[in-house]
Chain A
Amino acid sequence: MIFITVGTQLGFDRLIKVMDIWAGSHSDAHIFAQIGEGVYQPHNFDYSRKLSTAEFMAQAKKSSLLVSHGGMGTILTAMELEKPLILVPRYSKMGEHRNDHQVATCDKFKNHKGIRVAWKTDQLIDLMNSEGTLTAATTDGLASRNFSAALKNKIDAILGL
């Protein structure tokens, strides 16, 4: 099952439209979407506007692929549940968000294991067409090891060790 999420704050019509078109030519794909306050309503898969945290996690757990706006919540979920993740950042120039923070978030995680970023809509189609080859996201541990070491130095300094 492919789980699409646009986050809790805004709709994301561009993402839902493209996925609807893709789903139209892949009728064997099982898809569920959380579309938020989006105006566009998909024809080719079921959707809900809002999900509780428990419902969201349940859908994410059931899925074999997450397709998401560029939000930290889904990134953390994908890593925790070890699911492949395709990120689609919102762009302020397209009126999708008030700033380009999602671009920055996607940029930080673009090379992370199991996470792919679709900067452009056609890249999303390409990624969806190769979804069988996408690897699962995990925490590779490097960031946390580096942070751990840096934090240990600070802690030892504070404690006078």
Chain B
Amino acid sequence: MQLLKIKELFLHYDTHYASTSLTIGQDLSLPNYHVVPDANLDKKILLIYSAISIFFLLVKLRPKLVITTGAAPGFISLVFAKMIGAKTIWIDSIANSEELSLSGKMAKRWADLWLTQWPDLATPTGPYYIGSVV
């Protein structure tokens, strides 16, 4: 949802969108919208199903760059993106004002650009702060 606040930016590129929402693609008339199953650490079976779906979507689309604000499906996307040779950007959620989410911390390894939306959370070795969606 947060990336949609800057969706004009993505019009500059050939962009495909993926999220767990069943309706947002239609609600906002997003071109190239794909639904992926939701997942979190509490439901391991769903996590595996989500991961498989995301993997096949990435293999089909072969993006050059994957951008996500997390959480678990976003993290999974980053890992698979790296495996297929894409570049990756992690933008930690604006809601994480006190500390990075668990997936945000893990994303360091898999992100070519590792960002937080809170300047207090930025460090010289990342995550970096270049602004926020609100």
Verify that A and B bind, or say they do not: yes
Q: Which residues of A are in contact with B by a Cβ distance under 8 Å?
A: 72-73, 75-76, 79, 99, 101, 104-105, 139, 143-144, 146-148, 150-152, 154-155, 158-159
B6 contacts A159, CB within 8 Å? no
| Chain A residues, Cβ within 8 Å of B95 | 72-73, 76
A104 touching B97 in the complex, CB below 8 Å, given contacts A148-B9, A155-B89, A159-B64:
yes
Q: Which residues of B are in contact with A by a Cβ distance under 8 Å?
A: 5-6, 8-9, 12-13, 64-65, 67, 87, 89, 91, 94-95, 97-98, 112-113, 117, 120, 130-134
Least distance between A29 CB and chain B CB atoms (Å): 29
A143 contacts B131, CB within 8 Å? yes
Number of A-B contacts defined by CB within 8 Å: 63
User: How far, in whole Å, are A75 and B6 apart by their CA atoms in the complex?
Assistant: 18
- Chain B residues touching A, majority SS: loop
A154 contacts B113, CB within 8 Å? yes
Q: Tell which of B89, B95, B97, B117 has the most Cβ of chain A within 10 Å.
A: B97
User: How far, in whole Å, are A79 and B134 apart by their CA atoms in the complex?
Assistant: 9
A76 touching B6 in the complex, CB below 8 Å, given contacts A155-B13, A158-B112:
no
B130 contacts A151, CB within 8 Å? yes
Among candidates B64, B87, B131, residue contacting A151 with C-beta atoms closer than 8 Å = B131
A152 contacts B65, CB within 8 Å? no
| Chain B residues, Cβ within 8 Å of A73 | 95
User: How far, in whole Å, are A51 and B83 apart by their CA atoms in the complex?
Assistant: 41
